Amino acid sequence: MTTSFIYRYLPGEQAETLLLLHGTGGNENDLLEIGRAVLPGAGLLSPRGRVLENGMPRFFRRLSEGVFDVEDVKARAAELGQFVREMAVEHQFDPARVMPLGYSNGANIAAAMLLMGAARFPRAVLIRPMVPLEPESAPDLTGCEVLLARGLYDPLATAEQTARLRELLEADGATVTEHASRSSHQMVQADIEAAATWLARQ
Ligand code: MLT
């Protein structure tokens, strides 16, 4: 299978590659600057979601706000995992050193990839994630570190959603760190700073 996403790839000077995953209505350009800011020197791989909702790109279908098409989530997470592997061959980066940084819908597809074992990531930054699916099987996420960045006043990615996602990830062996910003669903500077600090740890 060859997957085709519209994407940007900016090579880095380091072995790490950030997989940048935009929110609903975004595109492959949205997170490039943030990617550069949080991990200077990393390569950047930034696909555009292939699902269109009223013309707005997303990474999977939803039935209504916060109600996801779980079969589509599964298929799209697998497809994105395949895309990353193909890009690693094409652009010659190490697939074992790819780390997603996703916002909102992008955080949700990254969470789905983790929970389904669609790709192995050493670290993942999920900004305003929800629970994209309740997985049927448990991948081994031992050694995987995840930052969950929530907004204290977020009506979508609520504290309960974050807590459930944390529980699922930890049950699979991941190490989870939480950060809470004084914001709603919108990403703010404090999220970017928290991600940069967290990624800079050895
Ligand atoms: C969004 O607006 O993108 C939602 O909050 C998250 C999603 O639908 O995946």
Q: Is the CB of residue 24 below 6 angstroms from any atom belonging to ligand 1?
A: yes
**Protein residue with its CA nearest to atom 9 in ligand 1:** 105
For residue 200, the model assigns a pLDDT of 96
Reported as a single tens digit per residue, the pLDDT across 4-17 is: 999 999 999 999 99
For residue 73, the model assigns a pLDDT of 98
Q: What is the residue-averaged pLDDT of the chain?
A: 97
Average the pLDDT over 85-94 and give the result: 98
Banded pLDDT at 175 (limits 50, 70, 90): very high
Domain of residue 97 covers: 7-200
Q: Is the CB of residue 62 below 6 angstroms from any atom belonging to ligand 1?
A: yes
Handedness of CA 168, 192, 51, 63 (dihedral sign): positive
Average the pLDDT over 120-132 and give the result: 98
Position 145 pLDDT exceeds 80: yes
Ligand 1 closest atom vs CA 66: 8
Reported as a single tens digit per residue, the pLDDT across 22-53 is: 999 999 999 999 999 999 999 999 999 999 99
Listed residue (1, 75, 86) closest to 47, CA to CA: 86
Q: Look up residue 147 and give its two tokens.
A: 């930052």
Q: Look up residue 182 and give its two tokens.
A: 């004084």
For residue 22, give the CATH number of its domain: 3.40.50.1820
Q: Strand (E) positions, the chain?
A: 7-10, 17-21, 43-47, 51-53, 56-58, 62-64, 67-68, 98-103, 123-127, 145-151, 175-181
Reported as a single tens digit per residue, the pLDDT across 182-194 is: 999 999 999 999 9
CB 186 within 8 A of CB 156: no
What are the DSSP calls for 53-105, one per residue? ETTEEESS-EEETTEE-HHHHHHHHHHHHHHHHHHHHHHT--GGGEEEEEETH
**Residue tagged active-site, from 46, 104, 181, 183:** 104
Banded pLDDT at 19 (limits 50, 70, 90): very high
**Protein residue with its CA nearest to atom 6 in ligand 1:** 105
Average the pLDDT over 168-177 and give the result: 98
Average the pLDDT over 102-122 and give the result: 97
Distance 105 CA to ligand 1 centre (A): 4
Is the residue at 92 inside a domain? yes
Distance 202 CA to ligand 1 centre (A): 31
75: left (phi over 0), alpha (psi -120 to 50) or beta: alpha
For residue 173, the model assigns a pLDDT of 98
Q: Is the CB of residue 108 below 6 angstroms from any atom belonging to ligand 1?
A: yes
Average the pLDDT over 138-150 and give the result: 97
Q: Look up residue 77 and give its two tokens.
A: 């997470």
Position 87 pLDDT exceeds 90: yes
b vs e for 143-155, b when ≥16 Cβ sit within 10 Å of the residue's Cβ? ebbbbbbbbeebe
For residue 172, the model assigns a pLDDT of 97
For residue 2, the model assigns a pLDDT of 55
| Count: domains in the chain | 1
Is the residue at 103 inside a domain? yes
Is the residue at 2 inside a domain? no
Measure Cα distances from 175 to 35, 147, 172 in Å. Answer: 22, 9, 9
Position 3 pLDDT exceeds 90: no
Listed residue (28, 97, 88, 17) closest to 57, CA to CA: 28
Is the residue at 1 inside a domain? no
Is the residue at 18 inside a domain? yes
Q: Is the CB of residue 156 below 6 angstroms from any atom belonging to ligand 1?
A: yes
